[in-house]
């Protein structure tokens, strides 16, 4: 696996692969890789000749009181894991390479609609940071396709919208959530949980599943189900941010006869913020 830190270096390698007629899949990450990330790379390997992975902890998507400074940076371990799944190129730029004038001064990409509400309520500006860095990375790598985990469901819809609106010729592939043995969605932030919090954490998925079961049995009182979900999370020991039933993909309030829904939740355990979701067809 090649490791490249500069934009010029990535462009050179991509150009050489393009001249050989190779297709390219791209997996953007912030590092501290777990099995969920590796499943993105494995999927990418099945879809394209060459797989590029980026590791970049993007300052623009973190709020002032968030975990940018303490977000784990484990480049050597990540690099070994990527070699283990046969990634072809690791792009790990320093912040100055991506934001030479600082991220506050940089041009931004705003995606209205899907980036509003849900996670954006407590993380204003987060999806602008995500859309901006993903647009920059897409322009650098120019892949045929890019793969994102479905755990960050709202993020995935923001990126799909941006790609459609800005006419990027890139196929966006969502990859199912990888879960721990007890149902907890894999996330780099799970490592922040202490033992007591880790024991509570799987109940986030349990509450999503209970709600999905109730919907599958015909319940359509979405507001009451959301309130019940919030109450169940509180009882379990979470400090919930939201528990929402939405139209899948569009993230709008669902009609009573909606055929495809998504239940999304964000909740804190101590200082750690967890998110999860469950899509269901009725």
Catalytic site positions: 37
Given a contact cutoff of 8 angstroms between Cβ atoms, the answer to whether 59 and 69 are in contact is no
* Shortest spacing between CB 12 and ligand PAF, in angstroms: 23
* Shortest spacing between CB 219 and ligand PAF, in angstroms: 32
Q: 13 or 58: whose CB is closer to ligand PAF?
A: 58
Q: How far is CA 110 from CA 41, 63, 133, 160, 252, in A?
A: 28, 16, 11, 13, 18
Given a contact cutoff of 8 angstroms between Cβ atoms, the answer to whether 111 and 161 are in contact is yes
Report how far residue 119's alpha carbon sits from residue 110's, in angstroms, rounded to the nearest whole number.
15
Q: 26 or 222: whose CB is closer to ligand PAF?
A: 26
Report how far residue 255's alpha carbon sits from residue 257's, in angstroms, rounded to the nearest whole number.
5
Q: Which residues bind ligand PAF (CB under 6 A)?
A: 28-30, 58, 61, 130, 133-134, 152, 155
Q: Of 239, 256, 258, nearest to 247 (Cα)?
A: 258
* Shortest spacing between CB 133 and ligand PAF, in angstroms: 5
């Amino acid at each position: 696996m090649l490791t490249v830190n500069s934009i010029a270096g990535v462009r050179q390698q991509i150009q050489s692969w393009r001249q050989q007629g190779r297709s390219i899949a791209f997996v953007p990450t912030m590092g501290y890789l777990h099995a969920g990330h590796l499943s993105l790379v494995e999927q990418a390997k099945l879809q394209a000749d060459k797989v590029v992975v980026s590791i970049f902890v993007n300052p623009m998507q973190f709020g002032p009181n968030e975990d940018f400074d303490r977000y784990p940076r484990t480049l050597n371990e990540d690099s070994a894991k990527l070699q283990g799944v046969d990634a072809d190129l690791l792009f790990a730029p320093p912040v100055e390479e991506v934001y030479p004038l600082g991220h506050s001064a940089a041009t931004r990409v705003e995606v209205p609609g899907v980036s509003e509400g849900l996670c954006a309520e407590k993380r204003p500006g987060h999806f602008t940071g995500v859309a901006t860095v993903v647009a920059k990375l897409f322009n650098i790598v120019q892949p045929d396709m890019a793969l994102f985990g479905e755990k960050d469901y709202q993020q995935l819809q923001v990126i799909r919208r941006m790609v459609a609106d800005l006419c990027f010729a890139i196929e966006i592939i969502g990859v199912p959530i990888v879960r721990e043995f007890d149902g907890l969605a894999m996330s780099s932030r799970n490592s922040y949980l202490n033992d007591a919090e880790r024991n509570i954490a799987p109940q986030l998925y349990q509450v999503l599943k209970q709600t999905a079961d109730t919907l599958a049995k015909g319940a359509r009182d979405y507001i009451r189900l959301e309130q019940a979900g919030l109450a169940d999370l509180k009882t379990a020991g979470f400090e919930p941010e939201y528990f929402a039933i939405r139209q899948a993909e569009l993230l709008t309030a669902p009609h009573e006869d909606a055929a495809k829904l998504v239940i999304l939740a964000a909740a804190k355990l101590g200082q750690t913020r967890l998110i999860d979701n469950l899509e269901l067809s009725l």
